[in-house]
Amino acid sequence: MAGYDTAGRIQNTGASALSEFGVNPQFWVRYFSPSPAADLINDSAADANAECEGLWKYNNNSPCLGVVCAPTQSRLSGSSAEGVADAQTYGAAITFVFDNVTPLDNPANGELYCWLDQEASTSMSDGYWSGFASTLNGSDTGAYHHYSGLYCDPPAAPPNCSVIDAYVGTSSRCYAVWSSEPEKTSYCSGGIKSAPAWAADSCASVTTYLWQYVEQGVCGFSANVDLDEGRTGTTYGNNCFKLSANP
Amino acid sequence: MAIKSRPRPHGGDAAPEEASGPTQPQVSRRAALLGGLGVTALVALPDMLLGPAASAAQLPGGAAAAGTSPAAPAGFFFLYGTTGVTTPAGVEGWQAPAARAQTSLGAAPQVATTSLDAAPVKSPDGSTLALVSTGATGSTATVALTLLDASSGARLGGGSLTLPGVSADASVLVTPVFAQTATVALVIAASEPSIPLAKLKLGQPLVWTTTHFTAYFDRASGAIAGPFRLFDEPYLALTDAVADADHLYLWAIKDYTKNRVSKNGPKSTLTPEFFAIPLGSGSPALNSASAGPWPSGDRAHLLSNGDVARVIAGRGLETFTPNSGALTKRTIAALEPLGSAKPGSITLDTLPAGHTLITNSAFGRAAIVDPAASYGAVSSIDYPKVKYPIRGTTPSADGTTLYTLGAANTGGLNAYSIATGKLTASYSHGDAYAGVYQLASGTVLAVKPGVQSTLGFFSPQLDNLGGATTSVFVASVF
C-alpha cells in the first residue's frame, strides 16, 4: 500500500496531492509533538478532528493515520534524559489525539508504529535511543501498544542502524525501520498509482516496514507530500490508527 | 558577486545527496562502525584565524591542551556530537591551500567532556558556554553546572546541587538559561520511572512522573539558590525557556496521560501554559494560556524590543511582552504561505540592527522582521532548499551577510547580502555540507557528516582556507 507523509495539515494538502497524483493515498503519516518545525496534529482537539476529517475526505476506504515525530535533530545526540523527555511528550500527544477523535480506532493489529525522524545528516547516541524507546514502548494506553520505529537512511554514515540493532530483545527495542532510501528520479513518474517494486534499504537486525521512495524536492512535486509504500507482504495500515467514521 | 569554485578534491568524496543510495559502500562503513558508537562528546578545536596564543588554553579537565605551541591559535570552538566508545574524538587529514602555508591546525583537539546530559548552551553574547551533567550522591540525584569561556575553553565557574526527593533512578533533564544579569537559571525536570530502567523488561508498562524545579547560579558569587519546586501537577518534562534581566519565562504543558480516564471517558481540556517566574524564585508571577504548540524543548529567544519569543510551526512567532503582559501569536508574512512535506532546520537570530532573522531550510527562505515596528517585514531572502541539515544558515556577526548551504546538486556554500537579498559569493566543489557556522574569528565553518565528518574552513568572503576530518559525528557547533 502507498501513501504520504507531510509536515502540513491533511485537509490543506489533500487537494493538491490528488490533483498531482490522480488517486488518494492509503495512509497519511503526520507529525506529532515534539516536532517544532511542523504543523502538529495534536495542537488541539479541534485541529486533530479537522485533520481526521481531511483523512476521511481523501480516502474513506483506507483512512489510516501513521504517526511520526521530528525533534530538533541535535537532541538525538543527547542523553537518555532527552530521549525520555521526547518520548514522554510523543506518547502523550498520540494518546491525546486518539482520545479526542472519537471514531479514531486502534491499529488493526494493536501495534502502532511510532516513528522517530532521524535525518541522514543527524547522529544519534545510544543514550538518546535507549531513553526514547524504553519510554515509548512502555507508554501503552491499554487499548493498543506503542512500538518504537526509526525513520532513517540506513546507509548514511552517522550512527543509526548500529544503535538500534544493539537493542534487539531489550526494553529499548526498535520494532521497525522506515527507510528514506533509495530515492530515484525514475520513481517520480509513477506517483502513488504505481509505486516501485520493494527495494528499501535496511539495517542488519531491524526490518524495514515502510519506504519513502520519493521525496517532494527530488521530483519537484508541488504538493507538500513525500511518497511512501509499505513492505511487500505486509499491510502498513494495520500499524496505523484507522477511522471508523467521519469525525 | 564573487563566484569561486575548484575541482572536486581527489575525486573520492561522496556524491551529492541526490545520488546517494544503495550503491554506497555499506559493508566497509558498517565494519568501520563496529566497536560501539553513540557516545556524546564535546571536543574543543582551535579557531584557526585567531592570533597566536599567549599561553596554552586550560580546558575543563584541568589539563593544558596537549600539542599547543607558541604559534597556536588563541581561541577554540567546540564540536558537539557523538563518537565511538573505542574511537577517541580526533581531527586529522588537515588540507590547507598552499597560499596559507599552514600545515596543521596549530593545536591538538581536546575532548572537553563525554559526560554531558544535554547539548551545551551558549550565552546570548557568545562569550560563555554552559555544560550540565547529572549524577547521584547516595540515593539522591545531583546536578552539576560548568561554565566555560567560549573562546579559550577556560573554566569560569560552576556549582552543583542535590535534588531532594529525587531518586538516583530518575531521568533528570536540565536546561541552563542565561539571564541578562549574572544569573544562570537552571530548569530541571526530574522524571521518576515506575520501574528503574535497568530492571525494565520488554513489554512492561513504564510510567514517568515528572517534577520540575528551578535553581539559579550567580556567576559573581558562585552560589546556587534553590532548587525551588515548580508546579503542583505533573507536567511533561519538555519546556521552552528564556530569561531577561528580571524573569525566567517558560512554556510548559500538563502531562495528559496523568489526567485521562479512557478513550471514551470525559475529556480534559489541554492547553500549553506560559509562566513568568521572577529570577531567584520558584513561584510564577504570571501564568497564562498559550495558543501555540506543545513545548518541544527548544530555546526561546529574547528579542531586541524586550519581548521574548519562540518559533511556532517553523513559520510564525509566539511573543510575550513583559510591559503589557500580552502573549501574542504572530504570522510572518514572508513565511506564512509556505509549506513543505518535511520539517526543516529553523534558526532565529537577532541582527545588530535589532531586526529578527528567521530561517527555515525546508522553505529556503529567510524572513527579516522588525520587532520594534510591530514585527513588520524588513526583507526576505530566497536560497536553495536542501535536505534537512543540522544548521542550514547563519548570519555574519556584523549582520551584513547570510551564509547558506549550497543547492543539493552543487553543494558548497552561498553568501547573500542581508540588505539586498542578492547572492554575493559562492563556493562549490561538490561537497554537500549539512551545517554552516561562523566562528568568533570570522571564519566560516561548514560541516559534512560522514564516517569521517568533513570540516571546511572559509574566509568571510568564502575563500577556501582548508579542511580537516574528524571522528565526531557533529550535531552542533559552539
**Mutate which: A123, A137, A146, A244, vs B, most B CBs within 10 A:** A123
- Which helix (DSSP H) or strand (DSSP E) does residue A98 occupy? helix A80-100
Q: What are phi and psi of A181, to 5 degrees?
A: -140, 155
Chain A residues in contact with B35 by the CB 8 A cut-off are none
Inter-CA distances, B354 with B249, B349, B399, B416, B442, Å: 21, 10, 10, 19, 20
Grouping H, G, I as helix, E, B as strand and the rest as coil, residue B468 is strand
Give the SS3 label for residue A164.
helix
Residue B15, C-beta contacts closer than 8 angstroms, at least 6 positions apart: B430
Q: Which of B257, B226, B245 is nearest to B302 (CA)?
A: B245
- State chain B's maximal CA–CA distance in angstroms: 73
Closest to B303 in 3D by CA, of B357, B246, B345: B357
For range B308-315, the mean pLDDT: 96
Strands A64-69 vs A28-31: parallel, antiparallel or unpaired: parallel
Mean pLDDT of chain B: 83
pLDDT category at B20 given cuts 50, 70, 90 is very low
Gap between the Cα atoms of A131 and A172, Å rounded: 7
pLDDT: is B75 or B404 the higher one?
B404
Burial class (CB in 10 A: 0-12, 13-18, 19+), A45: middle
Whether A76 sits inside 8 A of B210 (CB atoms) is no
In whole angstroms, give the CA distance from residue B456 to residue B468: 7
Pairs across A and B, CB distance < 8 A: 290
Q: Assign A76 to helix, strand or coil.
A: helix
Q: Give the residue with greater pLDDT, B365 vs B45.
A: B365
d(CA B366, CA B436): 15
Cβ(B383)–Cβ(B347) below 8 Å? no
Nearest neighbour of A42 by CB, restricted to B191, B257, B294: B294
pTM of the model: 0.91
Looking at this protein, which amino acid is placed at residue A143?
A
Q: What residues does B71 pair with on adjacent strands?
A: none
For chain B, helix, strand, coil in percent to 5 are 5, 45, 50
Q: Which of B22, B119, B473 sits opposite A78 (nearest CB)?
A: B119
Q: Which of A165-174, B52-61, B85-94 has the lowest mean pLDDT?
A: B52-61
pLDDT at B97 over 80: no
Report the alpha-carbon distance of residue A163 to residue A152 in Å, rounded: 12
* C-alpha to C-alpha distance for B256 and A88, rounded to whole angstroms: 10
pLDDT at residue number B119: 86
Partner residue opposite B172 with nearest CB, options A70, A81, A223: A81
Of residues A146, A50, A39, the one with CA closest to residue A90: A146
DSSP B146-193: EEEETTT--EEEEEEEEEEEEETTSEEEEEEEE-SSSEEEEEEEEEEE
Mean predicted confidence (pLDDT) in A142-146:
91
Report chain B residues whose CB lies below 8 A from the CB of A130.
Answer: 197
Q: State the Cα–Cα distance between residues B254 and B239, nearest whole angstrom.
A: 11
Q: How many CB atoms are located within 10 Å of the residue B53 CB?
A: 21
Angle, CA A46 vertex, CA A44 and CA A49 arms, to 5°: 110
Q: Are A202 and A210 a contacting pair, CB within 8 Å?
A: no
Contact (Cβ atoms closer than 8 angstroms) between residue B178 and residue B130: yes
Mean pLDDT of A44-62: 97
Nearest by Cα to B226 from B287, B184, B192: B184
Lowest mean pLDDT among A147-161, B85-99, B363-377: B85-99
Please write the tens of the pLDDT for every residue from A181-219.
Answer: 999 999 999 999 999 999 999 999 999 999 999 999 888
Q: Measured between beta carbons, which residues in chain B are less than 8 angstroms from residue A68? A: none
Q: Closest to B260 (Cβ–Cβ): which among A95, A125, A138?
A: A95
Q: Which pLDDT does position B433 carry in this prediction?
A: 93
B270 contacts chain A (CB < 8 A): yes
Residues B238, A86, B435: CA angle, nearest 5 degrees:
95
Q: How confident is the model at residue B25 (pLDDT cuts 50, 70, 90)?
A: very low
CA-based nearest residue in chain A for residue B344: A37
Residue scoring higher pLDDT (B268 or B109):
B268
Q: Are strands B76-83 and B473-477 parallel, antiparallel or unpaired?
A: antiparallel
Band (pLDDT 50/70/90 cuts) for residue B1 is: very low
> Which residue type is seen at A203?
C
B175 to chain A: nearest residue by CA?
A82
Residue written as grid cell 547539548 = B119
